[in-house]
Structure 1
Amino acid sequence: MAGTLFVTGCSSATTEQWKRLGLPEGASDRTEAVRSLWIGAWIAALIVGVMVWALILYAVVRYRRRTEEAPRQTRYNLPLEVLYTLAPFAIIGVLFFYTIEHGNKITAMSDSPNHTINVVGQQWQWTFNYHETVNGQEGVWETGTLERPAELWLPVNESVRFELTSPDVIHSFWVPAFYFKLDAIPGRTNKFELTPTKIGVFAGKCAELCGLYHSRMLMTVHVVTADQYQAHLRELAAKGQTGAATGGQDATTIPGYGQQEGGN
């Protein structure tokens, strides 16, 4: 009865999330590979857990203490030792195989993506440089501040390559609905590619502790039609936000103090 009440009390969204074992609803072409690996790992863990607990309970019942006499002592059991040596290697081998197989799908990149966006993560906001020709101008950009988080616009069903850079410390670009996360590391450019598959507005954030205002290093991701995407780029060009930007203006300013962290 209690179980029935519990199930009926769950919304359809909660039920679907339970089926995904806690994952958010996916919105990119990397969804299936990540979800398959995630759920497969949980199934493997459940099988191993059930087997271990079954062996523990069997040993508890089968070899429970019956008399005051000490049980017969055994120096070794070769078949058993071979089993618990080879079994972990077999489990690790299977998990390793599927991790590599799915990992290659998740990190795959094409020779010519439809769009390329340079993502600059800096303390403490995001800047997006769209490598597009808009109204005869090469490249447009937009950025955020602590008071107004950045917005990223992407066209649905068109591949996008992200090039991640950072001028200060390590940040991590993460949009949970895209099932992908990658660090922006000073001195190097990290790249990944995916295709948004669902129109909507999604939350993004920095997933690497990067300083005082790490918790406010947020972004809003708009996945729109191709026409809406191009219209947004034209709006940026009309504002004069052309070329490339290396970071948000006053991104490191502490509100109320008018100075950067560590300043006098």
Structure 2
Amino acid sequence: MRLAIPIAVLVLAGAAHAEPAPLKAYMEQARVQPSARIAYGQAPSQVVELFLPKGRGPHPVVVLLHGGCFLKQFEGLPQTSGIAADLARRGMAVWNVEYRRLPEPGAGYPGTFEDVAAAIDRIAADAARYDLDATRVVALGHSAGGHLALWAAARGKLPQTSPLYREAPVRLRAAISLAGIGDLEGQGDVFGRPCGQETLPQLIGFKDRKAAYADTSPAALLPTGARIVMVHGVFDPVMPPYTGLAFADRARKAGDAAEVVILADAAHFDPVIPTTPAWRAVARVVEREAKRLR
């Protein structure tokens, strides 16, 4: 099958035959302190860490959504603070979102999705205070967070009958998914191999709802109207490149602008470690998408 989608294979300078980063390297990253910490709800996990660039705004905003299989056992904000700080040094405000994860009280459906929606919509309320431009917002998510980034970009397509529907949500003009899953129904078994086959059904309330994919799977909400960039390490065993290629092809056929970036010598964690060539390639993609929002 021929896929009529733009594909960039980035050969990373100085990284020839580099060993892909393991989970240990990702988890042991040094934490960087944010400019501000903002609660958007009462639960401990309902917080955002804001990283502000130097200079006057209003600043474009990158909504950063960490991964971790939607499970509480994996940390999130400490591991994404390094790339958040790097993006801030590049002139973007970073809205680094924490959200309730399984098995936290209220996690799953609808809580996890409501958290992401509430955190993003909070940008509009705090824009004046922090000199943010709520009309120039892109999402960047890794793994499970890649799914949430794609879903958040599609929120405008949610039917009013869905508990996740919100009137006039903050619009995400681009969604950059780093090893994320866009098609929960068609690719759920792939995601389930490393994360547990029961994780996605628990997340979306599959046993208790008819049409559980309809308001939780980005593939069911196409077209979103946002630009979509699927980024995968060529050696990623969690969400291999073919998953992003398939979702981008589906998005383009639905009418969205979508492309795939395949990172050479990278696996699942390289794109979210700020010292790697893979992250530097990702950062350039984020900068490019932010600059489009003039």
Given the two structures, how large is their TM-score scaled by the length of structure 2?
A: 0.24
Structure having the larger proportion of residues in strand: 1
Larger Rg: 1
Given the two structures, how large is their TM-score scaled by the length of structure 1?
A: 0.26
